């Protein structure tokens, strides 16, 4: 990327990935693009580049062009602009293998999303965009292995629940600096819909940094502005430029607790929920490197569940557990156990079962936004309640209960799925879950008590977890809660309720290894990291091993 002060066009680029972020003279990363206020000249690529949904011969690449100073995201301003895209096998772009020219305009918020085909399987590629005098940062992406191939190793970053207001995205920086990932799996809550001062950092909801727009997102313009803000984070830009993402949504990409008919956070004075959902999903389609309903063309549909294959070593099946679910019920509602209640919806459920049954992959990974293992949770007191009652015994605060926003709220649907896995002896099923802001390793048992699948749950990037909600010091009251959880739920093989961070999943023919990594302080943009725990699986068994 050339400096914004350079006198003429240049195509010197930063290479992100491999050895990490380049920071030598004349070569700078995405975060170094000056903002319009700090620059003598406006730069058109302020939101970085991204790629996603790798196939053996194709991958989606993305950017956003700001053709003029006033053509801000969500503004509806700015003339149509031509953008050249290039995919190369070398960082100097002397060996361009695919290229083209597209026009983008306000109808897609000046975003550009290209489904690049004609690529070779299991290869790394570099890509960039050119508009007017400006060249984007260079991104690195990688296609999936060829059908039938069994690579020696795959490695995925796994993340969820990244709330801008609750902290800095240091987890993304640490993943970007690794240089050894084939993809990043984001399990949802990529962004949050809240206004400043709501559901932010810690027990007192102190904003570490403020959301834009400065109100809850409701309209298409609102969601576009919020997506754009998140894409200015330097650590998120670095990770997107380093490795392809495979994403699904949870609830906060639209509104807290949403289902097809409404949401906890949607109020009558905010207009039609159907309009709000359309706006949120349209902005998501524009701003994320994802194929919805099978295409990268914005507006072609809103189905996000899909199946990606990484040779015969691993499949990755991504679920939508918001867009087809029945409304959540309270714990004591007898309708919870109704046979016709569904989290996935009948069509997605049948597709999932068929996908697992027919897979030839050794490991069948399922991107599962909410926890699937049955779970009785001890009560979660506040710091004030603990002070008044002078006890840290969680079982003294009332009966343990399930969380009906997860698969626990749809037990008939879960039973049908696990019975299908068990009846057909489908092995190697591993659910990768998010949503609950805490870290878990669970054996998922069938009706006979035998584990038929494993579940690994990643903690949040920044969103509050148990000690934050309680207002207690980390690794104090939570320790008693973790002990109570394991007592109540013997299938839990690891739980941590306090730490924020990310996971790294290593897949080989001989072993699947999940590592949980914790960041030191989400309020510190330079936070360090440490390995928190690791658990493994061997082929043919859903028993989780400590390593």
The whole-angstrom separation of Cα 429 and Cα 73 is 41
Q: Residue 13: pLDDT band by 50, 70, 90 thresholds?
A: very low
Contact, 329 vs 335, CB < 8 A? yes
Contact, 83 vs 101, CB < 8 A? yes
In three state form, how does the secondary structure of 461-521 look?
Answer: CCCCCHHHHHCCCCCCHHHHHHHHHHHHCCCEEEEECCCCEEEEEEECCCCEEEEEEEECC
The whole-angstrom separation of Cα 124 and Cα 245 is 14
The whole-angstrom separation of Cα 525 and Cα 123 is 33
The residue that leads in pLDDT, 21 or 322, is 322
The residue that leads in pLDDT, 15 or 195, is 195
Looking at residues 215-235, what average pLDDT do you find? Answer: 98
Neighbours of 509 (CB within 10 A): 14
Handedness of CA 202, 205, 208, 214 (dihedral sign): positive
Nearest of 497, 433, 499, 502 to residue 466 by alpha carbon? 497
- SS3 label, residue 347: helix
pLDDT of residue 391: 86
Backbone phi, psi, residue 384, to 5°: -65, -40
Nearest of 240, 212, 205 to residue 227 by alpha carbon? 212
- The residue whose two tokens read 């053709």 is 67
Contact, 111 vs 62, CB < 8 A? yes
Cβ-Cβ contacts under 8 Å for 206 (sequence gap 6 or more): 200
The residues that bridge with 127 in the sheet, in sequence order, are 87, 139
Looking at residues 5-23, what average pLDDT do you find? Answer: 29
Looking at residues 185-209, what average pLDDT do you find? Answer: 97
Which of 3-7, 302-306, 327-331 shows the lowest per-residue confidence on average (mean pLDDT)?
3-7
The residues that bridge with 61 in the sheet, in sequence order, are 51, 114
Cβ-Cβ contacts under 8 Å for 132 (sequence gap 6 or more): 44, 67, 81
Give per-residue pLDDT as tens, 450-488.
999 999 999 999 999 999 999 999 999 999 999 999 999
Q: Which two tokens stand for residue 252?
A: 């906060």
Give per-residue pLDDT as tens, 21-59.
332 222 233 333 334 344 457 899 999 999 999 999 999
The whole-angstrom separation of Cα 251 and Cα 257 is 6
Say whether pLDDT at 505 is over 50: yes
The whole-angstrom separation of Cα 372 and Cα 379 is 20
Give per-residue pLDDT as tens, 271-310.
999 999 999 999 999 999 999 999 999 999 999 999 999 9
Q: Which two tokens stand for residue 317?
A: 């099946």
Looking at residues 184-190, what average pLDDT do you find? Answer: 99
DSSP strand pairing (81-88 vs 124-131): antiparallel
Q: Residue 395: pLDDT band by 50, 70, 90 thresholds?
A: confident
Backbone phi, psi, residue 100, to 5°: 180, 175
Give per-residue pLDDT as tens, 94-151.
999 999 999 999 999 999 999 999 999 999 999 999 999 999 999 999 999 999 999 9
Q: pLDDT averaged over the chain?
A: 92
Q: Which two tokens stand for residue 510?
A: 């001989």
Contact, 276 vs 283, CB < 8 A? no
pLDDT of residue 397: 86
pTM of the full structure: 0.93
pLDDT of residue 367: 98
What is the rounded radius of gyration, in angstroms, for the C-alpha atoms of the chain?
A: 23
Looking at residues 391-414, what average pLDDT do you find? Answer: 94
Q: If you count them, how many residues does the chain have?
A: 547
Cβ-Cβ contacts under 8 Å for 331 (sequence gap 6 or more): 401, 402, 404
Q: Residue 6: pLDDT band by 50, 70, 90 thresholds?
A: very low
Report the first-to-last Cα separation within the chain, whole angstroms. Answer: 43
The whole-angstrom separation of Cα 236 and Cα 126 is 18
DSSP string for 204-221: TTB-SS--SSSS---SHH
In three state form, how does the secondary structure of 149-200 look?
Answer: CCCCCEEEEEECCCCHHHCCCHHHHHHHHHCCCCEEEECCCCCCCCCCCCCC
* Preceding peptide of 68 cis, ω within 30°: no
Neighbours of 133 (CB within 10 A): 16
pLDDT of residue 372: 98
pLDDT of residue 381: 87
The residue that leads in pLDDT, 129 or 14, is 129
The whole-angstrom separation of Cα 203 and Cα 223 is 26
Neighbours of 474 (CB within 10 A): 14
The whole-angstrom separation of Cα 294 and Cα 318 is 13
Q: Which two tokens stand for residue 399?
A: 């009966």
- SS3 label, residue 98: strand
Which of 86-100, 173-187, 388-402 shows the lowest per-residue confidence on average (mean pLDDT)?
388-402
pLDDT of residue 507: 98
Which of 4-8, 145-149, 375-379, 490-494 shows the lowest per-residue confidence on average (mean pLDDT)?
4-8
Q: Which two tokens stand for residue 48?
A: 């970085």
């Amino acid at each position: 990327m050339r400096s914004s002060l350079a006198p003429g066009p240049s195509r010197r680029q930063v290479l992100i990935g491999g050895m990490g972020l380049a920071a030598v003279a004349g070569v700078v990363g995405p975060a170094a693009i000056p903002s319009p206020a700090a620059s003598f000249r406006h730069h058109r690529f302020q939101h970085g580049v991204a790629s996603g949904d790798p196939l053996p011969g194709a991958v989606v690449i993305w950017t956003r062009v700001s053709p003029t100073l006033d053509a801000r995201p969500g503004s509806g301003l700015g003339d149509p602009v031509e953008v050249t895209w290039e995919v190369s096998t070398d960082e100097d772009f002397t060996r361009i293998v695919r290229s083209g020219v597209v026009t983008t305009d306000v109808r897609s918020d000046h975003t550009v999303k290209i489904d690049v085909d004609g690529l070779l399987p299991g290869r790394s590629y570099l890509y960039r965009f050119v508009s007017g005098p400006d060249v984007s940062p260079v991104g690195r992406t990688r296609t999936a292995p060829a059908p039938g191939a069994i690579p020696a190793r795959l490695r995925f970053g796994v993340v969820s629940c990244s709330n801008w207001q609750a902290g800095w995205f240091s987890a993304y920086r640490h993943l970007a600096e690794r240089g050894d990932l084939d993809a990043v799996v984001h399990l949802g809550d990529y962004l949050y819909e809240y206004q400043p001062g709501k559901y932010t950092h810690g027990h007192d909801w102190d904003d570490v940094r403020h959301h834009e727009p400065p109100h809850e997102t409701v309209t298409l313009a609102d969601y576009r502005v919020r997506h754009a803000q998140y894409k200015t984070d330097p650590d998120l830009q670095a990770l997107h430029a380093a490795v392809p993402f495979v994403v699904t949504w949870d609830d906060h990409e639209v509104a807290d607790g949403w289902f097809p008919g409404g949401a906890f956070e949607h109020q009558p004075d905010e207009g039609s929920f159907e309009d709000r959902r359309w706006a949120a999903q349209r902005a998501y389609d524009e701003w994320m490197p994802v194929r919805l309903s099978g295409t990268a063309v914005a507006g072609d549909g809103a189905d996000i569940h899909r199946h990606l294959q990484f040779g015969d070593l691993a499949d990755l099946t991504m679920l939508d557990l918001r867009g087809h679910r029945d409304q959540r019920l309270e714990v004591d509602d007898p309708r919870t156990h109704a046979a016709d209640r569904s989290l996935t919806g009948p069509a997605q459920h049948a597709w999932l079962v068929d996908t697992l049954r027919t897979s030839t992959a050794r490991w069948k990974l399922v991107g599962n936004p909410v926890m699937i293992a049955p779970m009785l949770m001890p009560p979660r007191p506040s710091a004030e309640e603990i002070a008044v009652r002078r006890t840290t015994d969680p079982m003294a605060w009332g009966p343990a209960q399930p969380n009906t926003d997860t698969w626990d709220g749809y037990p008939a649907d879960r039973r049908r799925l696990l019975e299908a896995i068990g009846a057909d002896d489908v092995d190697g099923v591993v659910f990768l879950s998010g949503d609950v802001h805490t870290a878990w390793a669970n054996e998922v048992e069938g009706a006979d008590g035998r584990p038929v699948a494993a579940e690994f749950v990643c903690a949040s990037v920044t969103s509050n977890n148990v000690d934050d909600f309680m207002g207690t010091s980390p690794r104090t009251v939570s320790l008693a809660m973790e002990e109570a959880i394991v007592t109540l739920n013997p299938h839990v093989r690891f739980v941590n309720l306090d730490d924020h961070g990310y996971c790294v999943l290593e897949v080989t023919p001989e072993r699947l290894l999940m590592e949980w990594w914790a960041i030191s302080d989400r309020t510190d943009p330079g936070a360090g990291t440490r390995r928190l725990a690791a658990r493994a699986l061997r082929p043919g068994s859903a028993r989780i091993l400590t390593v």
